[in-house]
A and B are shown apart, each in its own frame.
Chain A
Amino acid sequence: MTEFLQQLINGLALGAIYALIALGYTMVYGILRFINFAHGDVFMLGAFAGLFLTPVVQRFFPPQSYLGGIVVLLLAMAICAGLGILIEMLAYRPLRNRPKLTVLITAIGVSLFIEYTCQHRLVFGAAPRKFPDLIPVTTWNVDQLVISSTQVIVFVTTILLLIMLRFIVQKTRMGTAMRAVSFNEQAAALMGVNINSIISFTFGLGSALAAAGGILFAMSYSSIDPLMGVQTGLKAFVAAVVGGIGNLPGAALGGILIGVIETFAGGIPGLSNYRDGIAFTILIVVLIFRPTGLLSKPQVEKV
């Protein structure tokens, strides 16, 4: 039982990070109907932004303080929001209204470009780097359960960001416009919604969440490299599809689900080697039975 709970805690911590990244995929898909393959790389850039920001921030704030950690997190989110908007403007905007496949291939190109540029020795280099401790690391033992402060921070940050996102999408004018564009782009444009700025905002918001995910991931696993976004990004995307792409609660649910199942599979001796394949197996099983994901309604394609 203790082991079950322990695995559950570890799985939830991983799942929370997947959920943060999955939200970015699902938001972009909801509005532009394409997979932003480069999203996983924005997640990686967020972690590296954290790595480079930490020494700068620690000059002004005491090292390993919560305040410093929050500042690093917010700055990295802001930087990645900018990068996300930039990527959209340079690579995806010229392709608006082109066939979906063209945009998908471009997204793969953007993703490869970021990965290989960052791997170059003049940029980050291909070797893994150690992520500094942002916050005081302590572990608590509750009834033989080990809970680290990092895990608590991951939970708290994710929940706060989810509440914030829900507030933005449901209560603000920007959020209303986002939902309108996702519902019907042309009609929204006729109602005076500036499509370009809404799409930029969506990319910025999604990228900021990915950056937060990147920093939380780096805090939990303490080693980062330019290719860390590939597997994690794919799994987060799988999470978004499993939950029903375009659906925000679905993405969060899918992320938690993938994280928990993957962690449990990692604990079972014969299955642990197949860990990396688990997310995709879940994806295929879900798609066979519910082709539109767990939380979304089936749609009929019309001519």
Chain B
Amino acid sequence: MKSGAKRYLLLALLAAVVVSFFSAYFNRYYLGVTIDVGINIILAVSLNLINGHTGQFSLGHAGFMAVGGYIAAKFSLMLSPALPPWAQPLIFGAGLLLGGSVAALTGLAVGVPTLRLYGDYLAIVTLGFGEIIRVIFQTSETFGAATGLTGIPNWTNFGWAWGSAAICVFVVTCLVNSTYGRGFIAVNDDEIAASASGVNPVRYKVTAFVIGAFFAGIAGGLYAHHKSFLSPTGFDFMKSIDIVVMVILGGMGRTVGVIIAAILLTLLPEYLREFSDYRMILYALLIIIIMITRPQGLFTFGFKVRNSK
């Protein structure tokens, strides 16, 4: 199983890099959309580790994405004029890691005091943290205040986006299937029973939170260098909801389903541009109908029964 996963990862990385070499031959628009898909896969899979596998309902994923995006963008804006062009991938890679790490630290800062809370309380606190992060970026002059950051170098290509997505999927899958990662599922299934059998729920919740935040930060960095523009309004509550919808549609705790949902929900709005007024209304109806008729998600075909609280 594990060596198989590693082979898939190498294959995916190789494919991503090879495709990105030929990216000049592709239509720019389609290429842009596929990069969006890759970024959304990272966001959805990383949120799935928190919401799906560990069963804590976080509504602040856009906040972590904002942290990673702003930090990485600021890093490249400061360093790119000073260094020669060949150093560009180095700066970008370092910026992404830095953004991800700061996002992970933010996740730790959010997680430690609040993860003793359950379900709805946690949802509202993460939502609150997301809003606080947004307000901070909106006010901070260093990060462009309300106008945001502009002129971020356009470095994200197919290879970076899909390579990162492959690594993210690999890490999350291996983590959940490892002995350590069974703890996440134990916490999801029954927190009290898990703690009675020696699993420390807070530790697992914080771990999931930090790893999820790290990848959200990476996705934010990729997003910043893809759009070359960041504004604080792009990371509001609605962005978090977008990611949550992907996780719900795919099925909580189902990595494959979540990836399919992320692809579909990125492509669909592109096809339905003329119906964009109705897009969010449809989303909302979709959430309600799915929750009433198929709460396990659209793309789940297994027979795993999960009785969470």
Q: How large is the interface on A (under 10, 10 to 19, 20 to 34, 35 or more residues)?
A: 35 or more
Instruction: Enumerate chain A residues within 8 angstroms of B138, measured Cβ to Cβ.
Output: 273
Which residue from chain A places its CB closest to the CB of B123 in the assembled complex? A104
**Closest approach, in angstroms, between the C-beta of A261 and any C-beta of chain B?**
15
Q: Which of B113, B277, B295 contacts A121 (CB 8 A)?
A: B277
Q: Which of A117, A284, A291 contacts B116 (CB 8 A)?
A: A291
Contact in complex: B288, A280 (CB < 8 Å): no
Instruction: Enumerate chain B residues within 8 angstroms of A280, measured Cβ to Cβ.
Output: 127-129, 131-132
Q: Which of B285, B288, B309 contacts A101 (CB 8 A)?
A: B309
Known contacts A35-B124, A287-B117: does B277 contact A112 (CB below 8 Å)? no
Instruction: Enumerate chain B residues within 8 angstroms of A277, measured Cβ to Cβ.
Output: 131-132, 135-136
- Which of B120, B241, B287: most chain A CB closer than 10 A? B120
Known contacts A104-B120, A112-B287: does B139 contact A273 (CB below 8 Å)? yes
Main secondary structure of the interface of B (DSSP, over half): helix
Instruction: Enumerate chain B residues within 8 angstroms of A94, measured Cβ to Cβ.
Output: 292
How many B residues touch A, CB cutoff 8 Å? Answer: 46
Contact in complex: A284, B113 (CB < 8 Å): yes
Which residue from chain A places its CB closest to the CB of B279 in the assembled complex? A116
Which residue from chain B places its CB closest to the CB of A91 in the assembled complex? B288
Which residue from chain A places its CB closest to the CB of B51 in the assembled complex? A101
Q: Would you give the 0/1 interface string for A106-133, flagging 1 where the beta carbon is closer than 8 Å to chain B?
A: 1011111101110011000000000000
**Closest approach, in angstroms, between the C-beta of B303 and any C-beta of chain A?**
18
CA distance in complex: A54, B287 (Å): 35
Contact residues of A between 269 and 301, Cβ < 8 Å to B: 273-274, 276-277, 279-281, 283-284, 287-288, 291, 301
Q: Which of B128, B136, B281 contacts A284 (CB 8 A)?
A: B128
Known contacts A95-B291, A241-B124: does B57 contact A284 (CB below 8 Å)? no
CA distance in complex: A95, B292 (Å): 6
**Closest approach, in angstroms, between the C-beta of A279 and any C-beta of chain B?**
8
**Closest approach, in angstroms, between the C-beta of B250 and any C-beta of chain A?**
13
CA distance in complex: A98, B288 (Å): 14
Contact in complex: B125, A112 (CB < 8 Å): no
Known contacts A101-B309, A120-B281: does B123 contact A109 (CB below 8 Å)? no
Q: Give the interface segment out of A145-153, A162-170, A179-187, A230-238.
A: A230-238
Instruction: Enumerate chain A residues within 8 angstroms of B114, measured Cβ to Cβ.
Output: 284, 287-288
Contact in complex: A230, B237 (CB < 8 Å): yes
Instruction: Enumerate chain A residues within 8 angstroms of B277, measured Cβ to Cβ.
Output: 120-121
Contact in complex: A287, B244 (CB < 8 Å): no
**Closest approach, in angstroms, between the C-beta of B290 and any C-beta of chain A?**
8
CA distance in complex: A99, B113 (Å): 25
Q: Give the tally of cross-chain contacts (CB within 8 A).
A: 122
In the assembled complex, B79 has its CB within 8 A of some CB on chain A = no
In the assembled complex, A303 has its CB within 8 A of some CB on chain B = yes
Contact in complex: A112, B120 (CB < 8 Å): no
In the assembled complex, B192 has its CB within 8 A of some CB on chain A = yes
CA distance in complex: A238, B121 (Å): 10
**Closest approach, in angstroms, between the C-beta of A254 and any C-beta of chain B?**
13
In the assembled complex, A172 has its CB within 8 A of some CB on chain B = no
- Which of B118, B135, B244, B308: most chain A CB closer than 10 A? B135
Known contacts A112-B241, A120-B277, A276-B131: does B124 contact A238 (CB below 8 Å)? yes
In the assembled complex, B168 has its CB within 8 A of some CB on chain A = no
Q: Would you give the 0/1 interface string for B206-245, flagging 1 where the beta carbon is closer than 8 Å to chain A?
A: 0000000000000000000000000000000100010010
Which residue from chain B places its CB closest to the CB of A126 in the assembled complex? B277
Contact in complex: B57, A104 (CB < 8 Å): yes
Known contacts A112-B283, A112-B287: does B309 contact A99 (CB below 8 Å)? yes
Contact in complex: B131, A109 (CB < 8 Å): no
Contact residues of B between 238 and 284, Cβ < 8 Å to A: 241, 244, 248, 277-278, 280-281, 283-284
In the assembled complex, B89 has its CB within 8 A of some CB on chain A = no
In the assembled complex, A34 has its CB within 8 A of some CB on chain B = yes
In the assembled complex, B119 has its CB within 8 A of some CB on chain A = yes
- Which of A112, A284, A301: most chain B CB closer than 10 A? A112
In the assembled complex, A197 has its CB within 8 A of some CB on chain B = no
Q: Which of B120, B125, B135, B136 contacts A34 (CB 8 A)?
A: B120
Contact in complex: B285, A109 (CB < 8 Å): yes
CA distance in complex: A95, B295 (Å): 10
Contact in complex: B281, A113 (CB < 8 Å): yes
Instruction: Enumerate chain A residues within 8 angstroms of B121, measured Cβ to Cβ.
Output: 241, 287, 291
CA distance in complex: A95, B128 (Å): 26
- Which of B114, B118, B132, B283: most chain A CB closer than 10 A? B132
CA distance in complex: A112, B244 (Å): 13
Contact residues of A between 56 and 111, Cβ < 8 Å to B: 91, 94-95, 98-106, 108-111
Contact in complex: B284, A110 (CB < 8 Å): yes
Which residue from chain B places its CB closest to the CB of A301 in the assembled complex? B192
Q: Which of B57, B136, B281, B286 contacts A117 (CB 8 A)?
A: B281
A selection of 30 A-B contacts at a CB cut-off of 8 Å is: A34-B120, A95-B291, A101-B309, A106-B287, A106-B288, A106-B292, A108-B244, A109-B285, A111-B284, A112-B280, A112-B283, A112-B284, A113-B288, A273-B135, A274-B135, A274-B136, A274-B139, A277-B136, A279-B128, A280-B128, A280-B131, A284-B113, A284-B128, A284-B129, A287-B114, A287-B121, A288-B113, A288-B114, A291-B121, A302-B192
Told that A109-B287, A234-B127, A280-B129 touch, could you supply 11 new A-B pairs with CB distance under 8 A?
A95-B292, A98-B295, A99-B307, A100-B119, A100-B309, A101-B308, A103-B291, A115-B280, A116-B283, A303-B190, A303-B193
Q: Would you list the 6 A-B pairs with minimal beta carbon distance, nearest first?
A: A109-B287, A280-B128, A113-B284, A112-B284, A277-B135, A116-B280
